[in-house]
Structure 1
Amino acid sequence: MKPILVVFILFFSGSMLQAQVENSTSLRIDAKNNEETNKFSLSKGLNTSNSEKDLNLFTSLRDSLGFNRTQRPFSMNEDNGLLDPEAEATPRWFKKDADIAGKGEMDQYFGDFKSNSQFIHLVYRDHGQQDGDVVRIFINGDIIKSGAFLTNAHQRIKINMVKGLNKIDILALNEGESSPNTAEFHLYDDQGIMITANQWNLLTGGKASMIVRKD
């Protein structure tokens, strides 16, 4: 009886062990299949998200660059935001010439001055638009410069002083391309000290005059 019972127990144990092995193998296969299925689904989801991001990025770039918008041609007559409203349309020296145009005088007298210098320097230049003004310079009626062409650069002429009155006359020979004949001048003694300074605005034939007295 006992040998039959032992055989029966062994047979039953073997059947149970085989059933566990089969169940274990089945579960591993299912887990592997599920894992592969999940991986496939996850990958598909990520690809879809990337595609949506790429599409949104392209849409943003398209809108920022102004694609499919009506472009107006550039016009020099319109204010496209490039014009500076504070910029001067006319150069200042042209405005200055325009202000004095037609206001020239036949003669200007700049006054009497005193100096005991051995000589004086007359420094002059066209302070407006350089337009071809020409003058003639006299001292006590004598010509010391027959034709001085005025430029924007300073020019200098030395005038020897005599005792008594030293009258300087500047005669406008023309009015250049822009009326009147204009210039600024400075008068210095032999020590470089300025005696006077002013501007002339002369019509053709007009004179700018001043007197320097020497004791």
Structure 2
Amino acid sequence: MKFHFSFFIFLVFTISSFAQIDSRNKSTPFPVIESKKDSLKAEIPKPSTPIEAKADPLNGLNAPRVSVDLSMPKRQLSMFPEEEFGNPGELYTKNLDRQAKSVLPDGYGENSGLKEDAFWGDYHTKSLSVQIKYRDHSAIDGDLLRVYVNGDVLRSNVYLGRSFSGFTLKLEEGSNKIEFFAINTGSSGPNTAEYRIVDETGAVIASKVWALEAGVRVTVVVVKD
């Protein structure tokens, strides 16, 4: 009887031990929380767009920067006025105009002119002869001229053109009186002319620009030394 009771106790103890071991191997369950959205439909982030590399014709070398400023260098500030001319001929013409104005007689002007006879000086030379030249200094408008030498008419009716014309005068010993007489004033008036007296070497010994009323006479004396 004791044997059966002991065996029963042993059997109960063994079953109890196995039950405890089996209970330990079981994991504790956790509640499952369902997502409101399907995880498979979640939006996948797009990869960032790579920056396109620019073509480098120099294979990595730094190209020098070229200035595109084609403007002319600035002129330095000057306290003195400057004259600008489109071409060298303009400068030459302007200088001639200045020289001509420096010898203009009193009364010169577009609508004016000397109204009285005038004496324009005497000049000395060692030349045996001189050239007497004259031309219209302004507009070619039909100005006419008469030339006297020592009281005699050497040119009675000279038409003044753009280019110089004239004659060679053989000088007498002493004074040689040369007179220019304005016959008319042309179509625009006054009688505008320029004369030159040139010696044998080509040097100008006398010159003048005039503006004369009709009938006015101007006198120049050339003295042969």
- The match for 1:207 is 217
* Cα distance in structure 2, aligned partners of 1:192 and 1:118: 13
Compare the two structures and name the one with the higher helix fraction: 1
Residues 55-95 of structure 1, C-alpha deviations (whole Å, 9 max, x = no match)? xxxxxxxxxxxxxxxxxxxxxxxxxxxxxxxxxxxxxxxxx
TM-score (norm 2): 0.50
Does structure 1 retain, via aligned residues, the 8 Å contact 2:109–2:211?
Answer: no
Q: Residue 103 of structure 1: CA displacement?
A: 2.9
Q: Can you list the C-alpha shifts for 1:135-169, whole angstroms capped at 9, x where unaligned?
A: 11011001111111001111121111000110100
Question: Which residue among 90, 97, 100 is the counterpart of 2:110?
Answer: 100
Tell me the residue number matched to 2:155: 145
Equivalent position SS for 2:214? strand
Whose strand fraction is larger, Structure 1's or Structure 2's? 1
| SS of residue in 1 equivalent to 2:202 | coil
Consecutive unaligned residues in structure 1, runs of 5 or more = 1-97
* Aligned residues: CA RMSD: 1.5
CA distance in 2, matches of 1:168, 1:177: 26
Larger radius of gyration: 2
| CA drift at 1:106 | 2.5
CA contact (8 A) 1:104 1:179 kept: no
The total of aligned residue pairs comes to 118
Is contact 1:108-1:200 (8 Å) kept?
A: no
1:107·1:202 contact (CA, 8 Å) conserved in 2? Answer: no
State how far apart, in whole Å, the 2-side matches of 1:131 and 1:109 are.
Answer: 26
Q: Residue 174 of structure 1 aligns with which residue?
A: 184
**Structure 1 equivalent of residue 134 of structure 2:** 124
Q: Deviations over 1:102-134 (max 9, x none)?
A: 233332321011012111111111010001010
Could you tell me how far apart the structure 2 residues matched to 1:103 and 1:195 are?
Answer: 25
Pair 1:112-2:122 in alignment = yes
Determine the C-alpha separation between the residues in 1 that align with 2:210 and 2:109.
14
Q: CA 1:142–1:153 in structure 2 vs 1: closer, same or farther (change >3 Å)?
A: same
Q: What is the TM-score of this pair, normalised by structure 1?
A: 0.52
Residue 169 of structure 2 corresponds to residue 159 of structure 1: yes
Check whether the contact 1:130–1:152 (CA below 8 A) recurs between aligned residues. Answer: yes
